[in-house]
């Protein structure tokens, strides 16, 4: 996929236990394609587990822990990738948290926290990653992870606004940095079943409802998101930038009212 010799930085690259979330899947798939991967997670042990999984397949990766809501830490994170592997070509911004409720129900504290984690982190990471890409690799590719909630709001107002901002940021950066030979795209996952979801607890009925909400009536996983990320970061997507790739099994094609009537 044109990734041999490339260096990738993936934020949110850990996952609980041996589970495979969006970030861990992207790390493993990028390594399988020949990239060297800096796996970043707030919990170093989770990033180290991802690295161990990559190493078991013969891939190259290193683990690191940084707080991507802090500019100085993002700068240090990018420097770590360049120091370890000599360059930076690829970035997967995968960090995010959720929230529920309307603007009336939401607290100011949660609003600011969600925006800081979901939007500020991507702004700060890209602010430092893009100059490194230009200097060390002559360009590169970035994928920001959004959500179908940005395209079809459903009572998750703060989360929806933050993920909509991710799409707008993606498009703006694509325009700003095309001249620098940097492509910037976005992946908008649907209701995929990942450790972040099932660690909070989910009934089998709720899980089945999510599965049947898709047109394909199959369950999405972190691997589905990871494959989309790898494609958009690869040379196969060389003529694609500013695009939002929806990965949801067709869930956004169905009206919420239809889902509630059927389920």
How many C-alpha atoms does 99 have within 13 Å on its Cβ side? 25
Q: Which of 159, 193, 198, 239 is catalytic?
A: 159
Q: Is 159 a catalytic residue?
A: yes
- Residues paired with residue 193 on neighbouring β-strands, in sequence order: 221
- Give the DSSP letter string of 200-214: T---HHHHHHHHHHS
User: For residue 143, what is the enclosing H or E element?
Assistant: strand 140-145
Strands 7-11 and 36-40: parallel
User: What are the tokens at 151?
Assistant: 């395209």
Residue numbers annotated as active site: 159
């Amino acid at each position: 996929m044109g990734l041999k010799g490339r260096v990738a930085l993936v934020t949110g690259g850990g996952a609980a236990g041996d589970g495979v979330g969006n970030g861990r899947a992207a790390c493993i798939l990028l390594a399988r394609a020949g990239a060297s991967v800096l796996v970043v997670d707030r919990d170093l042990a989770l990033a180290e587990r991802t690295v161990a999984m990559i190493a078991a397949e013969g891939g190259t990766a290193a683990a690191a822990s940084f707080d991507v809501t802090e500019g100085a830490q993002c700068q240090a994170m990018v420097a770590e990738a360049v120091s370890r592997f000599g360059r930076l070509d690829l970035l997967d911004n995968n960090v995010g948290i959720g929230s529920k409720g309307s603007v009336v129900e939401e607290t100011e504290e949660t609003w600011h926290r969600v925006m800081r984690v979901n939007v500020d982190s991507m702004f700060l990471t890209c602010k430092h990653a893009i100059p490194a890409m230009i200097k060390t690799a002559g360009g590169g590719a970035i994928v920001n992870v959004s959500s179908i909630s940005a395209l079809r709001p459903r009572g998750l107002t703060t989360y929806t606004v933050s993920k909509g901002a991710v799409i707008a940021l993606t498009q703006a950066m694509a325009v700003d940095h095309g001249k620098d030979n940097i492509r910037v795209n976005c992946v908008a996952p649907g209701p995929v079943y990942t450790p972040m979801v099932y660690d909070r607890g989910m009934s089998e009925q709720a899980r089945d409802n999510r599965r049947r909400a898709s047109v394909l009536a199959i369950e999405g996983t972190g691997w589905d998101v990871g494959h989309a990320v790898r494609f958009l970061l690869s040379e196969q997507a060389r003529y694609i930038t500013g695009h939002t790739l929806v990965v949801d099994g067709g869930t956004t094609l169905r009206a919420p009212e239809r889902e509630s009537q059927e389920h």
